[in-house]
Amino acid sequence: MRPRTKKHLEERIARCNHIHITDPCSMKGHWRIDGRPLHLEIGCGKGAFICGMAAKHPETDFVAVEIVRNVIVMAMEKAVAAELTNVRFISCDARKLEEIFEPGELSGIFLNFSDPWPKTRQHKRRLTYPSFLKIYENIMGGAGKGEIHQKTDNRDLFDASLEYYRESGWSLRNVTFDLHGDSIETDSAVTEYEQRFMDMGQPIYRAEAFK
Ligand code: SAH
């Protein structure tokens, strides 16, 4: 990246500093506000979903994690433009989540159009891989607490994920292989990727996992 572009990016990020948590580990155990529920999206991309959810659910707090800085900046700018007060952002890798959240601090996790990592040797990087499910279980406070809601356009990732949930002891509900065709009622917001695949007439797969 050229220096001028990088400087521009840092300036844009700085303008969002009230919702950008730059030292998330120092927040461990202190994320919840007045006992309000706290939901996390992992890999928020440009932020249509998390901003849509925050606007729809003012009674809930949201946190979004995204590893790519020039993508998360767009999500933060959306939240600032919409004057949302119930969403915060962390630029980091989902592998670090246990350093950031105390067990039980989160009540829900959203995985939307996560990278499919198709090659066998890459499967462990999938955000639904059993090692990640263990992390999610911990930060949501163990069995019986919290839910994972997943949407994807990728059938291989979806089929594998259903298997990962089952083999890790999670139960499934509201599983659909055509979210919009089935007209399933959810309180969900549409993501950028979802809109793109819907416009192309492709089915969206969705599942809710709980323990
Ligand atoms: N959820 C958005 C973007 C989907 S693309 C949508 O549905 O439109 C997947 C996103 O996840 C990318 O922006 C990618 O940078 C991010 N991502 C992938 N692996 C990640 C990880 N380990 N930690 C945090 N973000 C990750």
Pocket test for ligand 1, best of 39, 40, 41, 42 (most atoms within 8 A of CB): 42
* Three-state SS at 128: coil
Nearest CA to ligand 1 atom 10: 43
What is the pLDDT averaged over residues 54-62? 97
Q: How far is the CA of 76 from the centre of ligand 1 (A)?
A: 15
What is the pLDDT averaged over residues 115-132? 98
Question: pLDDT band at residue 7, thresholds of 50, 70 and 90?
Answer: confident
Mean pLDDT over each residue of the chain, to the nearest integer: 95
**Which residue out of 93, 115, 156, 182 is catalytically annotated?**
115
Q: How far is the CA of 125 from the centre of ligand 1 (A)?
A: 12
Find out whether the beta carbon of 66 lies less than 6 Å from any atom of ligand 1.
yes
pLDDT at site 185:
74
* Calpha distance 151→161 (Å, rounded): 11
Please give the model's pTM, rounded to 2 decimal places. Answer: 0.96
Angle at 108 between CA 150 and CA 17, to 5 degrees: 100
User: Higher pLDDT residue, 188 or 86?
Assistant: 86
Percent of the chain with pLDDT over 90: 91
- Rounded to the nearest 5°, which phi and psi values hold at 72? -65, -30
Question: Helices 192-199 and 48-56 sit at what angle, rounded to 10 degrees?
Answer: 110
| pLDDT, tens only, 159-201 | 999 999 999 999 999 999 999 888 777 788 999 999 999 999 9
21: left (phi over 0), alpha (psi -120 to 50) or beta: beta
Find out whether the beta carbon of 153 lies less than 6 Å from any atom of ligand 1.
no
Q: How far is the CA of 44 from the centre of ligand 1 (A)?
A: 6
pLDDT at site 32:
97
For the question of residue 182 being annotated catalytic, the response is: no
pLDDT at site 14:
95
